[in-house]
Amino acid sequence: MPRRTSSPAAGLDFASLVRQHQAMVFSIAWHLLRDRAVAEELAQDVFLSLHQHLGELESPEHVQFWLRRVTSNRALDEARRRQRRPMVSLENAPEPVAVTPQGDPLLGTALKKLVAALPGKSRAIVILRYQEDLDPAEIARVLGIPVGTVKSQLQRALALLREKLSRVAGQASGLSHGKE
Amino acid sequence: MASLEDELRSALRRQAPSPDFAERVLARVAAAPVRRTPRVSQPWVRWVAAMAAALLLAAGSLEYRHYRGERAKDQVLLAVRIAGSKLNKAQKKVHMLAHRSNS
Amino acid sequence: MKAAGVPIALLLLAGSLPAQQVRWNFDKLAARASDSTDVSLDGAVLQLAGKFLSDDDKDQAKVKKLVGGLKGIYIRTFEFKKPGEYTAADVEPFRAPLRPPDWQRIVGTHSNEDGETVEVYIKNDSKGIGGLVIIATEPKELTLVNIVGAVDLDSLSELGKHFDFPQVEVEKKK
């Protein structure tokens, strides 16, 4: 099979595509897997697949859609394979260590941990919504699930995150007042 | 205080992989052997594999066409809304003026 | 009109005809606008969209019928932060190509209430209407529409009214 470095029909150059989309692909994998090394390896594999399928992709938009879909699906598969502990629903997930009263710099870390504790599909939905700024219809197309499912899972995930965060913040203020 | 959604956008913003990521990908692509179809003694196995690959390809293409079709539909509805709204406004004004001049 | 002894029309036909009927240059306005919308739908995209418009939805079925015979829809909208950021002189180049005998202005209206002016031009061809241009100017927004093909003006207007003010189905009393 001849090596393709570009898709003449769509004017897509592989090396440029890697540079253009590496942050997107890596970040989707990383936020889903929370393991930098594994995320980089998975991202590399996605780009290798892109290289193999480049001739079938019709436009820069198609490439982006394809990358988001393949990365999300592979990262979700990898997350399921790496599961060492039984699935814990977010409601029962241990809360991250309470943030300090100066809270905000660590809020992002707390939030990332809470997102990482979401079930696979919900996690992917939250990541595609807030990392990639996709609307529910676009998320539904990327993940191949009904848009109603996307909306309901997103709502539920946000409600749970809000609740967990408020508990964490409550602990922090309790700590700051010397309470245990 | 920022909303939860703003905090999520901030926490989940894209991060760069390691600085030599792109070079490593390109090196792997350059080093990857040219794919050869594995030798299979029974021709029917090759045929089945080829059909399966073609079906997967077709399914992927079909999904992307569906995605494009839905987007095209959204764009057409937007276009008709904009154009129709402007045209309707002009027509209404004309009817109003005609009504005034007749009364 | 000729160029180097060859009728312009033939020169145009020799290469590929532009998809849009009117050659407009948006660069100047785009540079000044705070926001702009670009909807460019050629015949292939309209055909594809037609396959996804539902026959079960009344509005979508009407849109499907409307766009069925069209060759393209091109819309540009420019928004500006303050009134006066574009002037009548900026709009004149968009009117310039719309002259008889090819084009005919059929409507020109102005509303004192919201300051909106709407001009409607149609392109005449042997089969009737071959295209439509709408130029709508508001203090902070300019909209340019070019629809290529046989447009049903009444259907388009009706759909515009309906999308702006969706009808609520009222059960008829027996």
pLDDT at position B38 is: 53
Decide if B2 is inside a domain.
no
Which residue has better confidence, B74 or C106?
C106
CB-based contact A115 B12, cutoff 8 Å: yes
User: Alpha-carbon dihedral of residues A69, A71, A72, A75, nearest 10 degrees?
Assistant: 150
- Residue B48, in any domain of the structure: yes
Among chain A residues, the shortest Cα distance to B29 is held by: A48
Q: Is residue B6 part of a domain?
A: no
pLDDT in tens, A2-56: 344 555 445 578 999 999 999 999 999 999 998 899 999 999 999 999 998 888 8
CA distance B54 to chain A (A): 12
CATH number of the domain residue A100 falls in: 1.10.10.10
Final residue in a domain of this structure, among A50, A84, A118: A84
> What is the nearest CA distance from C9 to chain B, expressed in angstroms?
29
Judged by CB atoms closer than 8 Å, whether chains meet at B87 and C73 is answered as no
Q: Per-residue pLDDT tens for C145-154?
A: 999 999 998 8
Domain residue ranges of chain C, discontinuous segments joined by +: 24-164
Confidence of residue B60 (pLDDT cuts 50, 70, 90): low
Please state the pTM of the whole predicted model.
0.52
Q: DSSP secondary structure string, A43-58?
A: HHHHHHHHHHHGGG--
Which pair of structure tokens corresponds to residue C70?
Answer: 């069209």
Domain boundary among A44, A59, A84: A84
**Any idea which residue has 């509303």 for tokens?**
C111
The yes-or-no reply on A/B contact (3 CB pairs or more, < 8 Å) is yes
Higher pLDDT, B29 or A4: B29
Residues A48 and A118 in one domain: no
Domain extent at residue A179: 88-180
Tell me which amino acid residue C35 is.
D
Same domain? A1 vs A78? yes
Do A12 and A76 belong together in one domain? yes
What does the pLDDT look like over C64-80, one tens digit per residue?
Answer: 999 998 999 999 989 89
Amino acid at site C28: K
Final residue of a structural domain among A57, A84, A111: A84
Domain limits at B47?
A: 14-102
Rg (CA), chain C: 18
Say if residues A9 and A58 touch (Cβ distance below 8 Å): yes
Domains: count for chain B: 1
User: Which tens digit of pLDDT belongs to each residue from A79-135?
Assistant: 887 764 444 455 555 544 443 334 455 678 888 889 988 988 999 999 999 999 999
* B8, part of any domain: no
Structurally, how many domains does chain A consist of? 2
pLDDT band (50, 70, 90) for residue C174: very low
Measured between CA atoms, how close is C138 to chain B, in angstroms? 11
